[in-house]
Amino acid sequence: MKRFLFIGILFALCLHFNQAHAQRYLPGMKGLQVTAGMADGVHRDSDTDFAYHIGAAYSVYTKNANRWIIGGEYLHKKYDYKDMQIPVKQFTAEGGYYLKFLSDRRKTFFLSLGLPALAGYEVSNKSEKLLPDGSTLQDKDCFIYGGALTLELEAYLTDRVALLLNARERSLFGSDIGKFHTQVGIGVKFINN
């Protein structure tokens, strides 16, 4: 009996110490992610200069744990004008490459740097140029294009679900409201093979 108990304990220890970890960031793996966050700073007072973004993207992993990504994003920002706020909305599509440059030994945390290209459309004040006080808005609805520099942290909660934290600087040309927008966000990625 002691022999079987000893063999059982030895077997359990071997299983514990030689545990196989999940296969992550393999070539051909695919993931769907949803993100949301604040744009152009964090504002405590939601009535003034409030900006947020939401997005969804599809990624395909390549060799060396890098990935291609394609997706879309919506950015909403309000600008103060006298006693009112003028909403500006940006709808953008993005596509780019993310390079993994840091990960832990257990493949739980991954830090990537991405440079996607962006293109889309910007709408100011719901396309209405005449303001309630009689002023005319000079900003026009326009096509926008540019890119973003993104730093993203993936933390795997399970083998198929990862928590995302990202910071990015968007640079868009053709816009009437500004060329640069800083974004900080959080998201979830679902991995499917």
pLDDT for the residue 42: 60
Amino acid at site 104: D
Q: With 50 as the cut, is the pLDDT of residue 165 above it?
A: yes
pLDDT for the residue 79: 76
State pLDDT tens for residues 18-35.
444 556 777 788 999 999
Query: pTM (2 decimals)?
Result: 0.79
pLDDT for the residue 151: 96
pLDDT for the residue 187: 95
The residue count for the chain: 193
Q: Does the domain spanning 22-192 belong to CATH 1.10.8.60?
A: no
Could you tell me the residue ranges of all domains in the chain?
22-192
Q: With 60 as the cut, is the pLDDT of residue 4 above it?
A: no
Kindly write down the DSSP assignment for every residue of the chain, as one continuous string. -HHHHHHHHHHHHHHHHTPPPP--S-TT-EEEEEEEEEESS--SSTTSS-EEEEEEEEEEE-GGG-EEEEEEEEEEEEEEETTEEEEEEEEEEEEEEEEEEEE-TTS-EEEEEE--EEEEEEEEGGG--B-TTS-B-----EEEEEEEEEEEEEEESSSSEEEEEEEEEEEEES-SS-SEEEEEEEEEEEEE-
CA distances from residue 8 to 2, 14, 20 in whole angstroms, order as listed = 10, 10, 19
Amino acid at site 39: A
Question: CA 146 to CA 182: how far, in whole Å?
Answer: 14
Is the distance from CB of 164 to CB of 36 less than 8 angstroms? no
